[in-house]
């Protein structure tokens, strides 16, 4: 018998494209939910075109769409819309990330879908949310990252703001979407059995993570500037360069700073009024960083890390992908799994996170071929015979 999974009795209809909705459903699929991924019959999800590619196949697709079933369905066709409603009647969650009003024009909004399934939970992800003056604007994560306030804080004081090198707003929104779906399902189970709509923008999840910045400005009149790799409220915290590599260090409590000073052979720092407490260290962070950098810059990376770790200092190397794959901690935790795929062969990819003691998640397969599960869904779930499926495919509905 396979191990049970937390969501193995939950079914999800994924109408979304690209990353935000795909992240939501990827997390649910990792823990056993049956995710039916709807794709346009003409080319499928645009994520299939994202590099990097292996043998012409997107590795983005293979990882983000793992554990999902792929069906083709034309949502613009009235017959496709009927099939969508039939599917929505048989699932617990629908995830979509169209511009607000699009599904309503196709008679696939929440009112239409909940009419056939009052228990349905619908996660709606859009650039700016379903309400407000910007609701009708198209929104991508890049704009959301800038609007959230996150980008203004990223970078060094004398440089420009920096965008993240990944679709951060989409992926964080996806995390919020998965969490919200589970909260709504929990409420459904202990309430009146009815579902509800979850309205999630791309900019608000990142905004939610900037915890003190609104009260800091409104109550103290301080707008947080860019501080590079430092932390504005505690010091020292930075990246420092050893002779042959970078070190991440955080000594932002009194005890960790004391350990650092002893390891450096600089107990005098503890008696220096500039560095006696956190407030002083923040006020004199330039001088403190220069002292730490001078000490670290004279030492080989491995020796430096060993000394710091033996002393109980909080420090570690800056990993790139090569170091991740060689690290025994990642290996011991199963953080990288290898999935066999009939298109590209063995694919190493991030494992299932977090770890459950009784009902762990699993990766059963990489992202599927376009329409690979049409028969399993249209035949097995909806009961359409082969002749009906062939006719729908011929007419471009599926």
Instruction: Spell out the per-residue pLDDT of the chain, length 398, in tens.
Output: 567 899 999 999 999 999 999 999 999 999 999 999 999 999 999 999 999 999 999 999 999 999 999 999 999 999 999 999 999 999 999 999 999 999 999 999 999 999 999 999 999 999 999 999 999 998 899 999 999 999 999 999 999 999 999 999 999 999 999 999 999 999 999 999 999 999 999 999 999 999 999 999 999 999 999 999 999 999 999 999 999 999 999 999 999 999 999 999 999 999 999 999 999 999 999 999 999 999 999 999 999 999 999 999 999 999 999 999 999 999 999 999 999 999 999 999 999 999 999 999 999 999 999 999 999 999 999 999 999 999 999 999 99
Handedness of CA 177, 179, 183, 185 (dihedral sign): positive
> Which pLDDT belongs to residue 1?
53
Is 170 part of the annotated catalytic residue set? Answer: yes
Answer whether 58's CB lies under 8 Å from 87's CB.
no
Query: How far is 111 from 32, CA to CA, in rounded Å?
Result: 28
Q: Map out the domains of the chain as residue ranges.
A: 11-209+335-394, 237-323
Q: Strands, DSSP E only, in 208-267? A: 237-242, 245-250
Strands of 237-242's sheet in order across: 237-242, 245-250, 315-317
Query: How far is 348 from 336, CA to CA, in rounded Å?
Result: 6
Query: How far is 342 from 22, CA to CA, in rounded Å?
Result: 22
Answer whether 36's CB lies under 8 Å from 91's CB.
yes
Query: How far is 119 from 192, CA to CA, in rounded Å?
Result: 9
- The CATH number fitting domain 237-323, selected from 3.40.50.1820, 3.40.50.2020, 3.90.1150.10, 3.30.1540.10: 3.30.1540.10
> Which pLDDT belongs to residue 3?
77
Answer whether 65's CB lies under 8 Å from 71's CB.
no
Catalytic residue among 30, 45, 170, 341: 170
- CATH class given for the domain over 11-209+335-394: alpha beta
> Which pLDDT belongs to residue 4?
87
- 231 DSSP 8-state letter: B
């Amino acid at each position: 018998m396979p191990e049970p999974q937390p969501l193995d009795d939950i079914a999800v209809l994924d109408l979304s494209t690209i990353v935000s909705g795909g992240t939501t459903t990827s997390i649910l699929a990792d823990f056993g939910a049956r995710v039916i991924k709807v794709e346009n019959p003409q080319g499928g999800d645009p994520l299939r075109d994202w590099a990097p590619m292996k043998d012409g196949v997107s590795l983005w697709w293979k990882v983000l769409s793992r554990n999902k079933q792929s069906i083709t369905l034309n949502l613009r066709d009235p017959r496709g819309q009927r099939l969508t409603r039939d599917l929505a009647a048989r699932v617990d969650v629908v995830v979509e990330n169209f511009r607000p009003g699009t599904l309503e024009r196709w008679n696939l909004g929440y009112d239409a879908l909940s009419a056939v399934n009052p228990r349905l939970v619908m996660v709606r992800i859009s650039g700016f949310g379903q309400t407000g003056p910007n609701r009708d604007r198209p929104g991508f994560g890049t704009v959301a990252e800038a609007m959230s306030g996150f980008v203004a804080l990223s970078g060094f004081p004398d440089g420009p703001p920096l965008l993240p090198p990944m679709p951060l707003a989409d992926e964080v929104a996806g995390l919020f979407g998965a969490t919200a779906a589970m909260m709504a399902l929990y409420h459904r189970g202990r309430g009146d059995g009815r579902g509800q709509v979850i309205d999630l923008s791309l900019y608000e999840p990142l905004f939610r993570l900037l915890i003190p910045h609104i009260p800091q400005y409104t109550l103290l009149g301080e707008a947080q500037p860019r501080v590079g790799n430092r932390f504005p409220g505690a010091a020292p915290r930075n990246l420092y360069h050893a002779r042959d590599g970078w070190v991440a260090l955080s000594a932002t409590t009194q005890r960790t700073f004391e350990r650092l000073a002893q390891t450096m052979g600089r107990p005098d720092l503890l008696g220096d009024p500039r560095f006696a407490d956190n407030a002083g260290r923040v006020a004199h962070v330039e001088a403190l960083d220069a002292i730490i950098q001078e000490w670290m810059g004279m030492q080989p990376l491995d020796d430096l890390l060993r000394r710091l770790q033996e002393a109980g200092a909080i420090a570690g190397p800056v990993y790139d992908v090569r170091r991740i794959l060689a690290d025994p901690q990642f290996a011991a935790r199963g953080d990288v799994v290898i999935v066999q795929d009939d298109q590209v062969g063995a694919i190493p990819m991030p494992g299932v996170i977090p770890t459950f003691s009784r009902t762990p998640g699993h990766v059963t397969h990489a992202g599927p071929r376009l329409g690979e599960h049409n028969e399993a869904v249209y035949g097995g779930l909806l009961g359409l015979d082969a002749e009906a499926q062939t006719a729908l495919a011929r007419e471009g509905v599926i």
